[in-house]
Amino acid sequence: MNLSDLLLYLFFIAVTTFFMLLEAPHLAERLTRLPGINREKMVRLSRMSGYMIDFVVVRTETNLVHGVLFGGSLFAMGVHAAMLWGVLTFVLAYIPFIGLIIAAIPAIFFAWLQFGLWGAAAVIAIVCILNLVVENPVFSYFAARKFEIPALLVILSVIFWGWLLGIAGMVFAVPLTLMVLIAIQFSEDLAWVNVLLGVDRIFGEDTGDA
């Protein structure tokens, strides 16, 4: 798969995920009107969908800030293809834990080729500073809303979706997993998954049956 095919694939997955996220809360609201449906549970599902959309929106805004600041810093340094590394940072920052590291590797390499060891060290310093300045407020925001995803679940999500969909699966692993967790709420047979994965803790509320 060449670069253009990869970007097209990522765009397709992003658009599909975006519209699924937009539709999720409306679907839950419509389900509350069906006979025999636990209305309180449907309202809870709608609220959970709101959490998920909030996560994706804030994550996207954060990635945009990351990409612009990183690309701009590299451009100011004179690093080759600085804007490309900024775009790469925006995309790969969706991958938890390792995305920003992977995105920084090409920029560090080119800075080393152009400016030597000090150039590479400067890029590493930029990455660390941006991580502290940009990421910490995001973590604080979600912590304040009691929205937290267990690290083990995030890692397993990246592995599973990466195996299933390739790089696109790794990029969209978290929102895809959140959608699956919301879908699980419809199955009484899968109630044990809620307990095992701590779904109530993820969405900051009790997701058990009313």
Q: Is residue 1 part of a domain?
A: no
Q: Look at residue 12 and tell me if it is in a domain.
A: no
CB atoms within 10 A of CB 203: 27
**pLDDT values of the chain reduced to their tens digit, one per residue, 210 residues:** 555 666 666 666 666 666 666 666 666 566 656 565 666 666 667 777 777 777 788 888 888 999 999 999 999 999 999 999 998 898 888 888 888 899 999 999 999 999 999 999 999 999 999 988 887 777 666 655 656 677 778 888 889 988 988 877 888 888 888 878 777 766 677 777 777 776 666 665 554 444
Count of structural domains within the chain:
1
Looking at the domain assignment, is residue 10 inside a domain?
A: no
- Rounded to the nearest 10°, the torsion over CA 182, 184, 186, 189 is -160
- Write out the residue range of the structural domain in which residue 133 sits: 21-202
Q: How far apart are CA 74 and CA 68, in angstroms?
A: 10
Tell me the pTM.
Answer: 0.72
